[in-house]
Homo-oligomer: A and B are copies of this chain.
Amino acid sequence: MALAPGRNATIEDVALAAGVSRAAVSKVLRDAYGVSDSMRERVTAAMTELNYRPRIAARAMRGRTFTIGIEIPVLGNQFFTRMLSGAMHALADTRYQVVIAPAEEKSRQGLRAIEALVDRQVDGVIAVSPRVTPEALERIAAHTPVVMFGRHDNSEAYDTVAGDDVVGAKAAMAHLLELGHTKIAHLTLPESDEEHESPHGLRLQTYVGEMERAGLAGEILVIRTDEGQDAAYRTLRDALREGAEPTAVFAAHDELAIGALHAVAEADRPISVVGYDDVPIASHPALGLTTVDQPGDEMGARAIQLLLERVGGRTDAVHEVFEPQLRVRTSTTPPA
């Protein structure tokens, strides 16, 4: 214990204890070329002896941090949990560590969170930010590899991983139309969430398009709500009280759909509800939420894979699209 109390061991301490140079320690740390077995042994011994842990911040000033940053807009949405678990899984056997930065509640654009990550020298960023401009992302992507999750914009500077929202929304609408619904409302987020080829924007456009195609342009009803189950519940409850009479609601994602189910249960009217994502709770028999399954874990894993490729040097953009799948459950029935 040649250590001053209150101070953690540094590479210097290890070098001293092992009787070698700092460079040598650094080499065994990164198992770089050119270390004899005997040296490696002594150094390793000294490291465990001193309980040495390399300071990533110091390393950051020269090389990699082996940290991947993931920005998500809301913590509550279980779809992101699926994505994250796929991502973590993909990174499980690597030296990389995941850190998550949730966007603040207020200015939910997420740009601040992404920049906070970049400021902390992550090796790459995965972000879910429908509202950040491509320009801002390109500025960031010029220095740090970026994969955007859920977006469909075609930048050359960053990759994207998204579900096919048009196909998914069409499946949801086809299901409701086949059941015989005509008064189908769409429950979605505020308009500001629709920019930049966002999932919700596409789902909305598809809803409108399919209604028109079915000759139901006159029945189009778009209900806007804030993020979250509870806000969705309140919004739909109020809309129903104020005279809206849909027989079916297509929600932009499952959190909203679950809130909708709450309002429907209270209103005691037979209104079908379709969600999007297939979060774990959707298949619970108490909810039985019909929804569009997106393979969140696969998408998360793929996002990591693309990001690591970029960290490894790839510079041309890849834009990947995953096929969603309708899951029919009890929350949808023919209109009364």
Residues of B contacting A60 in the complex (Cβ-Cβ under 8 angstroms): 55, 57, 60
B106-A88 in contact (CB<8A): no
Residues of B contacting A6 in the complex (Cβ-Cβ under 8 angstroms): 142-143
Quick one: CB contact mask for A67-94 with B, threshold 8 Å, 1 for yes?
1010000011010010011001100100
A105-B120 in contact (CB<8A): no
A116 CB within 8 Å of chain B: yes
Bound form: Cα–Cα A55–B106 in Å = 25
A235 CB within 8 Å of chain B: no
A98-B101 in contact (CB<8A): yes
A104-B75 in contact given A57-B61, A121-B56, A143-B8 (Cβ < 8 Å) = no
A266 CB within 8 Å of chain B: yes
Q: Which of A56, A115, A262 has the most CB of B within 10 A?
A: A56
A258 CB within 8 Å of chain B: yes
A115-B57 in contact given A75-B85, A89-B105 (Cβ < 8 Å) = no
B119-A56 in contact (CB<8A): yes
Give the residue name and chain of the B residue nearest to A288 (CB).
B286
A287 CB within 8 Å of chain B: yes
Bound form: Cα–Cα A285–B265 in Å = 7
Selected contact of A100 from candidates B100, B105, B119, B121, CB within 8 Å: B100
A54-B101 in contact (CB<8A): no
A261-B286 in contact (CB<8A): yes
Q: Which of A61, A65, A85, A102 has the most CB of B within 10 A?
A: A102
**A236, chain B: closest CB distance, angstroms:** 13
Bound form: Cα–Cα A78–B258 in Å = 15
A20 CB within 8 Å of chain B: no
Interface residues of A in 205-259 (CB under 8 A from B): 229-230, 258
A76-B286 in contact (CB<8A): no
Interface residues of chain A, those whose CB is within 8 Å of chain B, are 6, 8, 51, 53-58, 60-61, 65, 67, 69, 75-76, 78, 81, 84-85, 88-89, 92, 97-102, 104-106, 113, 115-121, 139, 142-143, 229-230, 258, 261-262, 265-266, 280-281, 284-287
Interchain Cβ contacts under 8 Å between A and B, 22 examples = A6-B142, A53-B115, A55-B121, A56-B119, A56-B120, A57-B57, A57-B58, A57-B60, A57-B120, A60-B60, A75-B85, A76-B280, A89-B105, A92-B104, A97-B101, A97-B116, A99-B99, A99-B120, A229-B280, A265-B285, A281-B281, A286-B287
Q: A55-B121, A56-B119 are in contact. List 5 more A-B contacts (CB 8 A).
A: A6-B143, A55-B61, A75-B84, A76-B78, A100-B101
